[in-house]
Chains A and B, each alone.
Chain A
Amino acid sequence: MKRHLPRLARIAGHAGLRALPTAIGIVILGFFLLQQAPGDAVDVLSGESGGLSTEAAAALRHHAGLDQPVLSQLAAYLTGLAHGDLGWSARFNVPVTSLILQRLPGSLLLSGTALVVSVLAGAALGALMAAREGSWADRGLSVAALLFYSLPSFWISLMLIVVFSIHLGWLPSGGSQTIGGPEGGLAGLLDHARYMVLPVTSLSLFYIAIYARLVRVAMIEARAQDYVRTARAKGLSESRILIRHILRNALLPLTTVAGMHLGGMLGGGVVVETVYGWPGLGRLAYESVIGRDFRVLLGILLLSSLLVIVANALVDILQGLLDPRVGVSHAA
Chain B
Amino acid sequence: MPPKAIFAAPGDHHTPPPPETRPLAAFRIEDTVSAPTASRNGVVSALRRHPPALIGVAILAGVTLLALLSPLLFPGDPLAITGEPFLWPFASLAHPLGTDSLGRDILAGVAHGARVSLRIGLSATALGLVLGVAAGALAGYKGGWTDAAISRLIEIFQTVPSFVLLVVLVAITQPSAGTLSAAIAIVTWPTVARLARAEFRSLREKDFVLAARSLGYSHTRIIIHEILPNALPPIVVTASVMVASAILMESALSFMGLGDPNVVSWGSMIGQGREYLRSAWYISALPGLAIMLTVLALNLIGDALNEALNPRKRGGRA
Contacts and interface: CB of A to CB of B under 8 A. Distances in A.
Contacts of B165: 301
Interface stretch (B101-109, B201-209, B294-302): B294-302
B270 A158 contact: yes
Contacts of A159: 281, 284-285, 288
A220 B316 contact: yes
A151 interface: yes
A286 B156 CA distance: 23
Interface string A147-159: 1011111110011
A275 B274 CA distance: 9
B161 A305 contact: yes
A22 B164 CA distance: 17
A29 B156 contact: yes
A153 B1 contact: yes
Contacts of A257: 6, 13
B162 A264 contact: yes
Most chain-B CB neighbours within 10 Å: which of A267, A271, A292, A308? A267
Nearest to B255: A154
A309 interface: yes
B291 A21 contact: no
A8 interface: no
Interface string B276-310: 01100100110010011001100110010000000
Contact of A263 (B161, B171, B248): B161
B287 to A, nearest CB: 8
Given A29-B160, A161-B277, A297 B1 contact: no
Nearest to A267: B163
A317 interface: no
Given A270-B164, A289-B167, A292-B171, A22 B152 contact: yes
A31 to B, nearest CB: 12
Interface string B223-248: 00000000000000000000010001
A192 to B, nearest CB: 24
Most chain-A CB neighbours within 10 Å: which of B166, B168, B278, B288? B168
B169 interface: yes
Interface residues of B, number: 52
A171 to B, nearest CB: 14
B114 interface: no
Most chain-A CB neighbours within 10 Å: which of B155, B163, B164, B252? B164
A261 B163 CA distance: 12
Nearest to A143: B52
A18 to B, nearest CB: 8
B292 A271 contact: no
Given A29-B156, A134-B318, A150 B292 contact: yes
B156 A22 contact: yes
Nearest to B313: A217
A152 B155 CA distance: 26
B153 interface: yes
Contacts of B281: 158-159, 162, 166
A26 B153 CA distance: 9
A253 to B, nearest CB: 9
Contacts of B152: 21-22, 25
Given A33-B172, A155-B270, A217-B316, A166 B278 contact: yes
Contact of A267 (B162, B299, B303): B162
A286 B167 CA distance: 8
Contact of A271 (B168, B256, B285, B296): B256
B160 A154 contact: no
Contact of B159 (A162, A270, A305): A305
Contacts, number: 168
Given A146-B300, A154-B270, A25 B6 contact: no
B254 to A, nearest CB: 10
B125 interface: no
B85 interface: no
Contact of B251 (A152, A161, A214, A300): A152
Nearest to B288: A155
A37 interface: yes
A301 B316 contact: no
B172 A210 contact: no
Interface in B137-165: 152-153, 155-156, 159-165
A297 B160 contact: no
B258 interface: yes
Nearest to B303: A146
B213 interface: no
B156 to A, nearest CB: 4
Contacts of A210: 4, 6-7
A25 B156 contact: yes
A226 B267 CA distance: 49
Interface string B4-30: 101100000100000000000000000
B2 interface: yes
B161 A267 contact: yes
6 contacts: A25-B156, A33-B172, A146-B300, A162-B277, A213-B7, A297-B168
Interface of A: 18, 21-22, 25-26, 29, 33, 36-38, 133-134, 138, 146-147, 149-155, 158-159, 161-162, 166, 206, 210, 213-214, 217, 220-221, 256-257, 260-261, 263-264, 266-268, 270-271, 274-275, 285-286, 289-290, 292, 294, 297-298, 300-301, 304-305, 308-309, 312
Given A26-B156, A152-B267, A294-B168, 15 more contacts: A22-B152, A25-B156, A26-B160, A146-B299, A158-B270, A162-B285, A260-B13, A263-B162, A267-B166, A268-B1, A270-B164, A271-B252, A289-B171, A294-B172, A305-B160
